């Protein structure tokens, strides 16, 4: 029997553009089953048409850049929360948490803090002690005034628990829904004129340092029969385009929406999840792409980081390299090519057990009692 919705107004605050991150949409869709009214405050220029009449989108302007940009963003969030009626707020990461905590303290309203990563340990704050200290103070104030704290994996939960002396940190992972209707995969061999014995490795996501893109391209100079197909946007886009023109087994396909990406992943023989530990937040990350590949029954080639390794090895859905060196990468790749047809049953099990249909129950449980 479907739970009766609570006549309450929930506000979700994000600094990101919500249309670029599928997990954000999963959150508001899940919580719209519990609350009559949902408002999303985020950085975007235009909200696309969407089907949930319960969700109201409010733009906080463009994505903030620099100290002044973040101060303006936090002021906008603070003013909106102060002058509008709401019952519960979920703030994601310190730039959203601090202004939300200030207002929730004034209004005596419950605040849920959702930490997407170890914010002070992101690449952008590496070697910037003063900025890290400021963000730590802001986050500490916000956590102190939060009713509950949630994050994306157990390693980050343990760090937050120790840092802020918390009794409990809830974990809600970024896992996709089971696709009710599987669309036909993209025929990558035909599109890129590949031979039947060529092996297709795909990368989908942000084209940024620390995702293994440059490393993989260099390593694959030694594996001409492995073709690397890259999809996404980001600061490495020009580099990827130039490399694809020069290296015959590297291909850049541009960017697509989430549904189309799933079709591309299904057409590949393996997905790359090669996060490099360029910062502690990266070392402890658990990328949503890992679960997306699994849901498309695509085995993964993974870097040996704790959260990634735990999932890949527990469910036997790919190969984890023994180290982060080129030799370790190539050994793992060769093992994956040799076993490419042996992952089917394990991928089906993982797809069934690791789904948003199951994971959203943890999110809804966080809000129990509000």
- pLDDT value at residue 47: 66
Cβ 291 vs Cβ 263: under 8 Å: no
Q: How far is Cα 87 from Cα 247, in angstroms, rounded to an integer?
A: 55
Average pLDDT over residues 180-199: 89
Q: Residues spanned by CATH 3.40.50.2000 within the chain?
A: 6-175+355-367, 188-353
pLDDT band at 369 (very low <50, low <70, confident <90, very high): confident
Per-residue model confidence as pLDDT tens digits over 85-105? 999 999 999 999 999 999 999
- pLDDT value at residue 259: 79
Residue 5 has pLDDT above 90, yes or no: no
Average pLDDT over residues 254-264: 85
Cβ 275 vs Cβ 301: under 8 Å: no
- Least Cα distance to 89 among 70, 104, 107, 71 occurs for 104
Say which CATH superfamily domain 188-353 falls into.
Glycogen Phosphorylase B; (3.40.50.2000)
- pLDDT value at residue 278: 96
Cβ 59 vs Cβ 76: under 8 Å: no
Q: Please give the structure tokens belonging to residue 327.
A: 């030799």
- pLDDT value at residue 185: 86
Per-residue model confidence as pLDDT tens digits over 337-348? 999 999 999 999
pLDDT band at 367 (very low <50, low <70, confident <90, very high): very high
Give the angle 324-327-332 at the CA atoms, nearest 5°: 75
- Least Cα distance to 157 among 20, 306, 7 occurs for 306
Q: Please give the structure tokens belonging to residue 31.
A: 């919580």
Q: How far is Cα 153 from Cα 65, in angstroms, rounded to an integer?
A: 27
- pLDDT value at residue 2: 55
- pLDDT value at residue 49: 58
Query: What CATH architecture does domain 6-175+355-367 belong to?
Result: 3-Layer(aba) Sandwich (3.40)
Residue 122 has pLDDT above 60, yes or no: yes
Question: How long a stretch of residues is the chain?
Answer: 370
Residue 246 has pLDDT above 50, yes or no: yes
- pLDDT value at residue 1: 46
Q: Please give the structure tokens belonging to residue 142.
A: 């916000």
Residue 27 has pLDDT above 80, yes or no: yes
Question: 115-119, 166-170, 182-186, 355-359: which range is least confident on average?
Answer: 182-186
Q: How far is Cα 111 from Cα 370, in angstroms, rounded to an integer?
A: 10
Residue 151 has pLDDT above 70, yes or no: yes
Per-residue model confidence as pLDDT tens digits over 308-336? 999 999 999 999 999 999 999 999 999 99
Residue 262 has pLDDT above 90, yes or no: no
- pLDDT value at residue 50: 57
Residue 52 has pLDDT above 60, yes or no: no
The pTM of the full predicted model, rounded to 2 decimals, is 0.92
Average pLDDT over residues 230-248: 96
pLDDT band at 53 (very low <50, low <70, confident <90, very high): low
């Amino acid at each position: 029997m479907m739970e009766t919705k609570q006549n309450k107004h929930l506000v979700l605050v994000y600094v990101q553009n919500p249309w670029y991150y599928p997990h954000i949409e999963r959150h508001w869709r899940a919580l719209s089953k519990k609350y009559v009214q949902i408002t999303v405050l985020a950085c975007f220029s235009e909200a696309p048409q969407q089907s949930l009449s319960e969700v109201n989108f409010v733009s906080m302007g463009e994505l903030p850049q620099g100290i002044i940009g973040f101060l303006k963003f936090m002021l906008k969030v603070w003013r909106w929360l102060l002058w509008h009626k709401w019952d519960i707020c979920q703030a994601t990461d310190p730039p959203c948490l601090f202004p939300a905590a200030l207002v929730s303290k004034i209004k005596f309203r419950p605040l849920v803090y959702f930490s997407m990563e170890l914010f002070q340990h992101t690449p952008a704050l590496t070697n910037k002690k003063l900025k890290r200290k400021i963000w730590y103070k802001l986050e500490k104030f916000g956590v102190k005034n939060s009713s509950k704290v949630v994050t994306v994996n157990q390693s980050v939960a343990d760090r937050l628990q120790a840092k802020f002396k918390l009794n409990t940190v809830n974990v809600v992972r970024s896992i996709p829904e089971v696709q009710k209707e599987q669309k036909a995969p993209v025929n990558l061999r035909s599109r890129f004129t590949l031979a039947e014995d060529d092996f297709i490795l795909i990368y989908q996501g942000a084209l940024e340092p620390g995702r293994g893109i440059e490393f993989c391209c260099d390593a694959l100079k030694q594996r001409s029969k492995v073709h690397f197909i890259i999809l996404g946007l980001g600061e490495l886009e020009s580099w990827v385009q130039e490399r694809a023109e020069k290296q015959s087994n590297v291909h850049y396909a541009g960017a697509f929406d989430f549904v189309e990406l799933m079709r591309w992943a299904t057409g590949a023989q393996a997905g790359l999840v090669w996060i490099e530990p360029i910062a502690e937040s990266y070392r402890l990350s658990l990328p949503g792409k890992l679960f997306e590949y699994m849901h498309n029954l695509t085995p993964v080639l993974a870097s040996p980081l704790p959260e990634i390794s735990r999932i890949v090895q527990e469910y036997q859905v790919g190969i984890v390299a023994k180290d982060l060196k080129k030799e370790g990468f190539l050994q793992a790749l060769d093992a994956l090519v040799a076993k490419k047809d042996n992952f089917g049953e394990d991928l089906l099990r993982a797809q069934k057990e690791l789904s948003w249909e199951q994971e959203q129950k943890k999110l809804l449980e966080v809000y129990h009692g509000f």
